[in-house]
């Protein structure tokens, strides 16, 4: 098997599925080269419905060069309302043209402002706000800039390989304007690089330390561990705090743009000043070692969604490692073997989108392998692996051996995820294969496909580019 890029290996992605050389190039040369459209699944009432029963205004926004959080903040400021009144179903990247749903509590269509690089289409009203996950998936149209020679032929060969991995035969790339139906391809449903930090992939390292109960190790993983991808002043500050643990002096050295790191350093410095950080004593230079509770308090200064992200990234890393081990063992992704746990398809998914419902699952024993395989071939069932938490059910047989071996390698077990506050996680399972109809246009080299919510476009595109993960945007 072809080895993955070293940066990908660091987050648990060990191999490519396809052996063919990539087309090269990079994504996101311009905003219009990365288009994302939500596949909506949210019912609305007419816009003139009662505002008492349906107080949330629902609209579709097409945004160019807007980060979702920045747009919500700007919108709430223009409306003169709390940011908490604005909700959405999925966060999108800034360097793109995105089409997505938003809801605003207590707003009327006439209240919506005209914002630069934003087109707004009011859809109606609802009795509740949009919540994360109130979408079925996303449709993508991505342009590869500066591909190598023979890129289309290489894309065709890669598509054949990925169609075979999906459990289908004879796939070939077709022109999206042609008469043939797009080929369906499949890739391992790993978590993409952006889950862990594209330039500094350390969120899972912080999360692993948290789950192991090492609050100090978690803080130092976040504050220290400089990388070459960061500005020089940031690297210098991280190296300083690693070497000295002089929290007060580190505050002077950490750039103001690193707001989260500075917030943590304030907690550590204040604990020294008020004497609450008793622990190992230092040498009087401000480097006294705080208590484990103080290190935890420093982490809890961060936004709650970031606290959860650390643990989710740890779960994602373990998931990626399990899929890499399954691939290396030669076990199929498109169908079960004895011991696997499968989930079934969401019956309300849009046509043409395979959407797993992990709340409906079943363990597969030897007697059921053949019948469940037929369900998988028809897109009605999906093999899963764990996002480990306190309530996680591990597989049996060889798949279960892989899951337990990876957990042992990381010195983890499900009960370790019983943690305080935002860090606690009960866990779930996730489909190990994502399949999508796939089409390409040659000039410019443009890839079109759709994915269920929670799956990453870059996980598909990495197979085609085989470039440095930073080239995936």
Query: Which residue numbers are catalytic?
Result: 93
Q: From the CB of residue 81, how many other CB atoms can be counted at a distance below 10 Å?
A: 16
Give the integer Cα–Cα distance in Å for 385 and 397: 13
DSSP 145: B
Tokens for 148, please give them.
Answer: 């190598």
Angle at 130 between CA 90 and CA 133, to 5 degrees: 40
**Cis peptide bond N-terminal to 370, omega within 30:** no
Phi, psi values for residue 143, rounded to 5°: -105, 130
Q: From the CB of residue 123, how many other CB atoms can be counted at a distance below 10 Å?
A: 18
Give the integer Cα–Cα distance in Å for 76 and 141: 30
DSSP 369: H
| Helix or strand holding residue 7 (H, E) | helix 6-9
Q: From the CB of residue 418, how many other CB atoms can be counted at a distance below 10 Å?
A: 14
CB under 8 Å, gap of 24 or more: what pairs does 64-70 form?
64/31, 64/32, 64/97, 64/117, 64/118, 65/31, 65/94, 65/95, 65/96, 65/117, 66/94, 66/98, 66/117, 66/118, 67/92, 67/93, 67/94, 68/92, 68/98, 68/100, 70/94
Give the integer Cα–Cα distance in Å for 80 and 331: 56
- Tell how many helices (H) and how many strands (E) occur in the chain: 13, 13
How many residues comprise the chain?
473
């Amino acid at each position: 098997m072809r080895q993955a890029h070293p940066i990908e290996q660091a987050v648990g992605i060990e191999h490519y599925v396809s052996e063919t050389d990539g087309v090269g190039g990079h994504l996101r040369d311009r905003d219009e080269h990365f288009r994302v459209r939500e596949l909506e699944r949210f019912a609305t009432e007419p816009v003139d419905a009662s505002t008492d029963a349906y107080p949330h205004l629902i609209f579709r926004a097409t945004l160019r060069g807007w980060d979702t959080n920045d747009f919500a903040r700007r919108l709430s400021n223009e409306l003169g309302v709390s940011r908490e009144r604005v909700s959405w179903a999925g966060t999108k990247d800034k360097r793109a043209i995105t089409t997505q749903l938003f809801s605003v509590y207590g707003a009327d269509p006439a209240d919506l402002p005209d914002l630069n690089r934003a087109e707004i289409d009011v859809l109606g009203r609802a009795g509740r706000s949009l919540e994360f996950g109130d979408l079925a998936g996303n449709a993508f149209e991505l342009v590869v800039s500066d591909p190598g020679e023979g890129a289309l032929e290489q894309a065709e060969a890669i598509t054949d390989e990925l169609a075979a991995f999906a459990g289908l035969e004879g796939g070939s790339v077709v022109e999206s304007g042609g008469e043939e139906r797009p080929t369906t391809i499949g890739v391992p449903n790993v978590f993409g690089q952006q889950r862990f930090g594209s330039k500094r992939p350390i969120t899972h390292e912080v999360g692993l330390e948290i789950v192991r109960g090492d609050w100090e190790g978690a803080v130092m993983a976040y504050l220290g561990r400089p990388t070459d991808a960061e500005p020089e002043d940031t690297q210098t500050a991280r190296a300083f705090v690693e070497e000295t643990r002089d929290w007060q002096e580190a505050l002077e050295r950490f750039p103001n743009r690193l707001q989260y790191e500075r917030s943590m350093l304030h907690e550590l410095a204040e604990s020294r000043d008020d004497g609450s950080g008793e622990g190992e004593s230092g040498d009087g230079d401000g480097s006294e070692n705080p208590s484990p509770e103080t290190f935890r308090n420093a982490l809890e200064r961060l936004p709650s969604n970031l606290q959860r992200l650390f643990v989710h990234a740890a779960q994602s890393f373990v998931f990626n490692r399990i899929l890499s081990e399954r691939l290396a063992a030669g076990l199929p992704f498109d169908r079960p073997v004895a011991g696997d746990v499968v989930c079934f398809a969401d019956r309300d998914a849009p046509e043409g989108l395979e959407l797993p419902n992990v709340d409906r699952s079943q363990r597969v024993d030897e007697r059921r392998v053949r019948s469940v395989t037929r369900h998988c071939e028809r897109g009605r069932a999906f093999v899963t692996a764990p996002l480990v938490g306190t309530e996680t059910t591990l597989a049996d047989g060889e798949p279960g051996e892989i899951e337990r071996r990876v957990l042992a390698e990381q010195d983890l077990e499900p009960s370790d995820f019983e943690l305080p506050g935002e860090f606690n996680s009960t866990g779930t399972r996730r489909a190990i294969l994502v399949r999508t109809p796939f089409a390409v246009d040659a000039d410019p080299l443009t890839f079109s496909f759709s994915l269920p919510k929670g799956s990453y476009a870059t996980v598909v595109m990495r197979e085609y580019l085989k470039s440095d993960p930073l080239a995936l945007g």
